[in-house]
Structure 1
Amino acid sequence: MNKFLIIFVICIVNLITMLKKIFRRKVKDEIKVTIGARHNNKPLFKSSFIQKWYAKDFSLERWIEELRMLQNVGIEEIILQSIVDTKNKEAVYNTMLEGFVSSENDMIKSALDAAEYIGIKVRVGLGESEDWWEKGWYDFKWLSEEADINKKIVNEIFEKYGDHKAFGGWYIPYEFSEFFITTKSQQMNLNLFYKSITEEIKSKSKNFSIMIAPFFSSNRFKIGSVGLWKKIIQNVLVDTSIDIVSLQDSIGVGYNTFENVSALFYYTKQATDALGITLYADIETFDSTEKGNIPVDLKKILKQMSEVYCYVDGFVAFSINHFQNKNEENQIGNYNNYLEYYNKIKIEELFEKITQNI
C-alpha cells in the first residue's frame, strides 16, 4: 500500500511540474506578441520612493542635494511614501488636524521647493498605519475611519500645496496583496475604501494622477492563483479612478522569483488594461537578509527589469534613495554603477537618433 501511495504522490508532483512548465511556456509565447509594442521602453528608472523616517529632517539644501543626485540618473519624480502616521497621529508637515502632532521641519514644503529648484516632480503619499496589516483585510469599520482621516489629509495637502509647481500627483500607501482579498466581500470593502479616498482627490483636481503599489507573494502560490490575481485586481480597482498601479516585483524581499515574476506581470497587465490603468514595475533594489535589507548589484537590478519590461510603461525604484544613494558613503559604488549604465543608455539613444536622421 505504501508503495502505491508513493507512486501516486510522485505522479501528482510530476503533473504539477508539467502544468507549471506549460503555463510558463504559454506566457513566454505571448511575450513575443507584446514585446514589439514595448520596444521604446528602455529599462531605466523614472521615479524613486523615499520614506519619511529618512528624510523628515532634511533641510532645503539637503533636499536639493538628494534630488540633484536623482536627476543625474534620469529620475523625474520623487515619491514621498507617506506623510502621516495615522495611528500615532504624527505628521511630517504643519498640520491642523485635531489631535495630530506636527514635525518641526515641514518635509513636504522642503521637498517641493527643492524639486521646483531642480526641475523634477514630487508625488505626495498620504497617511498610513501599522494597523493596516492587522485590520485592513477584515475590519470595514476601521477601513472607513482610516479613509475619513485620509480625506482630511487630502484636503489639507491640496489647500497647502496643490498649487505648487512641483506638485506632481498622489500616492496611496495602503498596499494590498492576495492575502487581503481572498473573498469577494474583502474585495468589495477594499474597493469602497479606495473609492472614498480617490473621489475626494479627484473632487479637488483631476489633473493629478493617483498611484498605488500592491504586491503578490508566490510563497502562497497555487496552480491558477496568479490568474485569479487578475480578477482580484479588477474587482478591487474597478471605478476607483486610480491611474497607476506600480506593482512591486517583491524579488528583493523574497516573495517572488525570476521564474514566476513574468507571469505575475502578464496577468496584472491584462487586468490594468481592462480597467484603463497604467502599469509600472516597482523594482526592489535590495535583498532581505538576517541583518536587514542590503543593496543588490546592478546586474541583478537589470535582470529584474528585463523580466517585466515588456509589460510596463515605466519603472519605479525602491529605492535609489535608500540603497543606491550617492550621499551615503557605503552606497556610492552602487550609485556610480547605475550612473554609468544610465549614461550608456543615453549615449545609445543619441546614436540611434543621429543615425535615423542621416
Structure 2
Amino acid sequence: MLTFCLSALICCTGAVPMTSYSAESSPRISSSFIQNWYCRDWSPERWEQEFTAAGEAGFESLILQSSYDIVRGECRGEKHDPESYPSAESFCIFPSAVKADYHSSQNGGDALELALRAAKAADMKLWIGTVSDDMWWNYGWGQPDSYFVDWCGDNAKLSSSLIAEIWQRYGDEYGEQIAGWYYTNEVWNIDAACEGSDGGRYAEIIGGNIRECLESVKQSCPEKPVMISPFYNKDLSSPQQFGDFMTDLIYRSGFRFDDIYAPQDGGGRDYPPEVIRQWAVEQKSAVDGRMRFLINHECFGSELKAMPVESFVKNYSATADLGEGHIIFSWNHYYAPDSGLNRQFTEFNTGAVSGDVNGDGSFNVADLVLFQRRLLAVSGAELSDSGAADMCRDGILDVFDLCAMRRALIKK
C-alpha cells in the first residue's frame, strides 16, 4: 500500500502552497517578548506577518518589552549620575507628549498603533511595556544610594505617565487588544537585599516605584494586569534569600491577585534543569497566592545563540507543573520561521504531530494517501494541517516531502 510511482508524481506535481494550521490543544507557551529597538520601524505588512507567524506558532499574545527606551551611551563621570551621560538618546514607539529623540519611520511616528492594529486583525493581544533605561543596570550593587532613590522616582513618574497616555490614546479602539502592562525593570537577586544588609531599603524603593505604576493602571484601566519578570544569578545569593526578598518586594508593591509574576528560568545562563526548578520553587513560594505565577523560559544559551529545542523542552519540563502558564524570551529572535527551528518548536508548543496532515492526531498511512492525492491535485484532497506535511522543513510542499513521509512511516 505504501508503494507508489515516484516518477509519475515528479512529472505531474509541483509545489503546494503552505497554509496555516490550527491545533486542537492549548499551546504550552502562550506569549513571547518582542523588543522596541527591533520592531519600532516595522511596516504595517511586517507587523501583520509577525502576528500571523506568532499565531501559527501557537501564541495568543506578544509582549512589547518597552514603549520608551533611554540609551545612555558613553559615561563621562560618575556612572550612577544620569548627568554623566550627555550622549543619552530616547526612543518612543508612539508620538508621546513626553519628549523623545526618535519615534518611528512608520505611520507618522506611531508604530504602536500599527502593532495594535495587526493584533486586532489577527485576533491576538499585545502586552505593553513601560520604560527601558540603561541606568537601571548601574544600580543594585551594594547599598542603595541617593541616585537610586531619585532615579526610581523619576522612572516611576515617566512610566506612569506613559501608561495613562497610552490608554487614553488607544484604549477606546484597541482596549480589547491590550492584554496588560509589562514592568520593564528586571528585578534580580540584589546582593545587599538578599543578605539583608540593606535593612529592606531595596524592597522599599523598588516597591514604591512599582506601586506608583500600579496606581496609574488602576486609574486608567483597573481590569488590566501588570506583569513582572525577575531574573537571578545563582552566584549572588541562595534561592531562599531571593525568595525572601521577593516576598518583601511583592508586599511593598501592592500587587493584585490578577497581576503576574513570571520569573526568567535561567536557561540563558546554561543553568541545568534541576537548578532552574529549585529557583522557581522558591519564587513560587514567595508569590504564595498573592499573584498569578507563570514561567518565562529563555530559548538562548550563554553565547546568545539559539538553544536546541530539545534543551528548551527539558528546561520547560523542569517547571511545567509549577506555573499556571508559560511565556518565552524570545521566539522572534531564535525560533522564528526563518530560524530553521520554528517547526520543531511549533510542534512542541501546539502538540502538532509531524506528518499528521488530516488533523486526526496521529501520523499514519491515511496521511500519506491524502498528501499524495493533494500533490496530484485530486479534487477534494485538502490538508487540515499543511505545515505538518513539510517533512523537509524548507517551506515548500513537494514530492521530496512525500518521500520523507514514506520513510518516516516505514521507520515507524
Q: Normalised by the shorter chain, which TM-score bucket?
A: 0.7 to 0.9
Corresponding position of 1:24: none
Corresponding position of 1:296: 307
Structure 1 distance, partners of 2:274, 2:69, is 36
SS at match of 2:263: strand
- The answer to whether structure 1 residue 145 and structure 2 residue 161 are counterparts is no
Trace 1:215-226 onto structure 2 (pairs within 5 A).
215-221=231-237, 225-226=238-239
- The answer to whether structure 1 residue 94 and structure 2 residue 78 are counterparts is no
C-alpha contact 2:182 2:227 (8 A) present in aligned 1:
yes
Corresponding position of 2:136: 132
Aligned length: 299
> Could you tell me which amino acid in structure 2 is paired with residue 217 of structure 1?
N
C-alpha contact 1:324 1:334 (8 A) present in aligned 2:
yes
Q: Give the CA deviation at 1:265.
A: 1.0
Corresponding position of 1:122: 126
C-alpha contact 1:151 1:200 (8 A) present in aligned 2:
yes
Equivalent of residue 60 in structure 1, options 25, 40, 44: 44
C-alpha contact 1:143 1:193 (8 A) present in aligned 2:
yes
C-alpha contact 2:36 2:69 (8 A) present in aligned 1:
no
Structure 2 distance, partners of 1:50, 1:90, is 15
> Could you tell me which amino acid in structure 1 is paired with residue 296 of structure 2?
D
Structure 2 distance, partners of 1:136, 1:149, is 20
Corresponding position of 1:319: 330
C-alpha contact 1:49 1:79 (8 A) present in aligned 2:
yes
- The answer to whether structure 1 residue 213 and structure 2 residue 229 are counterparts is yes
Q: Give the CA deviation at 1:201.
A: 1.2
Seq. identity, %? 24
Equivalent of residue 286 in structure 1, options 275, 300, 308: 300
Corresponding position of 1:158: 167
Q: Give the CA deviation at 1:136.
A: 5.5
Corresponding position of 1:178: 189
Structure 1 distance, partners of 2:350, 2:273, is 26
Structure 2 distance, partners of 1:77, 1:168, is 8
Q: Classify 1:99/1:82 alpha carbon distance in 2 versus 1 (closer, same or farther; 3 Å).
A: closer
C-alpha contact 1:43 1:309 (8 A) present in aligned 2:
no
Unaligned runs of 5+ in 2: 1-24, 72-88, 363-412
C-alpha contact 1:136 1:142 (8 A) present in aligned 2:
no
Q: Classify 1:43/1:250 alpha carbon distance in 2 versus 1 (closer, same or farther; 3 Å).
A: farther
Structure 2 distance, partners of 1:350, 1:306, is 25
Q: Classify 1:206/1:296 alpha carbon distance in 2 versus 1 (closer, same or farther; 3 Å).
A: same
* Structure (1/2) with the larger helix percentage: 1
Deviations 1:31-60 (A, max 9, x none): xxxxxxxxxx97711000001121111111
Corresponding position of 1:272: 287
Structure 1 distance, partners of 2:180, 2:247, is 22
Corresponding position of 1:28: none
Deviations 1:280-336 (A, max 9, x none): 1110111122xxx1111110111010001111011111111111011x3xx0x2001
Structure 2 distance, partners of 1:351, 1:337, is 17
Structure 1 distance, partners of 2:305, 2:331, is 12
Q: Give the CA deviation at 1:213.
A: 0.5
C-alpha contact 1:50 1:78 (8 A) present in aligned 2:
yes
Equivalent of residue 75 in structure 1, options 38, 53, 59: 59
> Could you tell me which amino acid in structure 2 is paired with residue 177 of structure 1?
W
Q: Give the CA deviation at 1:100.
A: 5.2
Corresponding position of 1:192: 208
Corresponding position of 1:261: 276
Q: Classify 1:298/1:150 alpha carbon distance in 2 versus 1 (closer, same or farther; 3 Å).
A: same
Q: Give the CA deviation at 1:340.
A: 2.6
TM-score, scaled relative to structure 1 = 0.78
C-alpha contact 2:58 2:350 (8 A) present in aligned 1:
no
Structure 2 distance, partners of 1:98, 1:56, is 17
> Could you tell me which amino acid in structure 1 is paired with residue 138 of structure 2?
E
Corresponding position of 2:8: none
Q: Give the CA deviation at 1:226.
A: 1.1
Equivalent of residue 248 in structure 2, options 213, 216, 235: 235
C-alpha contact 2:40 2:111 (8 A) present in aligned 1:
yes
Corresponding position of 1:167: 178
C-alpha contact 1:85 1:127 (8 A) present in aligned 2:
yes
Q: Give the CA deviation at 1:245.
A: 0.8
* Structure (1/2) with the larger strand percentage: 1
SS at match of 1:85: strand
CA RMSD of aligned residues (A): 2.3
Q: Give the CA deviation at 1:339.
A: 2.0
